Amino acid sequence: MSDTPTLLSEPSKMPCVGFNLPALKFCPAAKILLAKAKDNLDKLICSSCYACKGFYQFANTKNALQKKADFVLDSLRKDNGQTFVNAMASAIFKKYYKKDGSRKTLKNIDTKLFRVHDSGDLFSVAYIKAWKQICQIFPTIRFWFPTREWIRESQLEALKDLAILPNVSLKPSALEIDQPAPKVDGLDAGTAVYTTKEKAEKDGHYVCPATYVKGKDGKVLAQCAAHNCNLCFIKGCKKPIAYLAH
């Protein structure tokens, strides 16, 4: 088994820590969509994925993401993901809890929330099952999983099994820009990407304030904490959420 890499990430816009993998390479559904779209890529959300731009393309970031991916794959191959489960559980406990088991209070980090995959996706059934184990270990942490793997029938049973957990918000993501959030039986209300707030609201979405509300300096307040919002993490949210394209 390869050495355990640094597993936790701190997405700048999120109110918590998370876990990520290389984009597209570990997004099977996105690769299928991109292959089918061919010349009609402008509408496809994945064709302009933020995780394929900016700091995600820095050499040190790409290297860190690949090390995590290699560790996950090695564990899935050798012990069906158990080493990954144990390592993640240890990393989350160390970050969020004191040695006596009480929850830590951390600056700018909500230890009741965890973001899975600001980059990457639930790429295999075995990997989904590993995450179910992790979520079960921490029943008082709310885990948010956005996913496009709902389009792959082979994944649906495992996705629904993960979504059963009361501390898991598993949201199916839309495929195209200005397309209403998908409704998938057994999963939570979905998410979408829109070009305007008006279009999103007309289609019945709650529009994420971190994608349009501006501060006094005229810049968008792009962090969830700036709006005291954690709606994406809330299990059973009935209203679909839209993010404005950026």
Instruction: Look at residue 182 and tell me if it is in a domain.
Output: no
What's the rounded Cα separation, in Å, for the pair 111 and 164?
22
Domain count, the chain: 1
Q: Model pTM?
A: 0.94
Instruction: Look at residue 129 and tell me if it is in a domain.
Output: yes
Instruction: Look at residue 156 and tell me if it is in a domain.
Output: yes
Q: Are 177 and 194 in contact (CB under 8 A)?
A: yes
Instruction: Look at residue 13 and tell me if it is in a domain.
Output: no
Instruction: Look at residue 221 and tell me if it is in a domain.
Output: no
What's the rounded Cα separation, in Å, for the pair 154 and 124?
9
Q: Which amino acid is at 32?
A: I
What's the chain look like in SS3? Answer: CCCCCCCCECCCCCCCCEECCCCCCCCHHHHHHHHHHCCCCCCEHHHHCHHHCHHHHCHHHHHHHHHHHHHHHHHHHHHCCHHHHHHHHHHHHHHHECCCCCECCECCECCCEEEECCCCCCCCHHHHHHHHHHHHHCCCCEEEEEECHHHCHHHHHHHHHHHCCCCEEEEEECCECCCCCCCCCCCCCCEEEECCHHHHHHCCCEECHHHCCECCCCCECCCHHHHCCCHHHCCCCCCCEEEECC
Instruction: Look at residue 114 and tell me if it is in a domain.
Output: yes
- Confidence at residue 24, expressed as pLDDT on a 0 to 100 scale: 82
> Under 8 Å CB-to-CB from 83, ≥6 apart: which residues?
1, 74, 75
Residue ranges making up the domain that contains 35 = 18-173
What's the rounded Cα separation, in Å, for the pair 16 and 84?
20
What's the rounded Cα separation, in Å, for the pair 144 and 110?
13
Instruction: Look at residue 103 and tell me if it is in a domain.
Output: yes
Instruction: Look at residue 11 and tell me if it is in a domain.
Output: no
Nearest-CA neighbor of 234 among 191, 198, 195? 191
- Confidence at residue 51, expressed as pLDDT on a 0 to 100 scale: 54
- Confidence at residue 55, expressed as pLDDT on a 0 to 100 scale: 61
Q: Which amino acid is at 145?
A: F
Per-residue pLDDT in tens (0 to 9) along the chain, 246 residues: 558 999 999 988 899 999 999 988 899 898 888 887 776 777 878 767 665 666 667 688 889 999 999 999 999 999 999 999 999 999 999 999 999 999 999 999 999 999 999 999 999 999 999 999 999 999 999 999 999 999 999 999 999 999 999 999 999 999 999 999 999 999 999 999 999 999 999 999 999 999 999 999 999 998 998 899 999 999 988 899 999 987
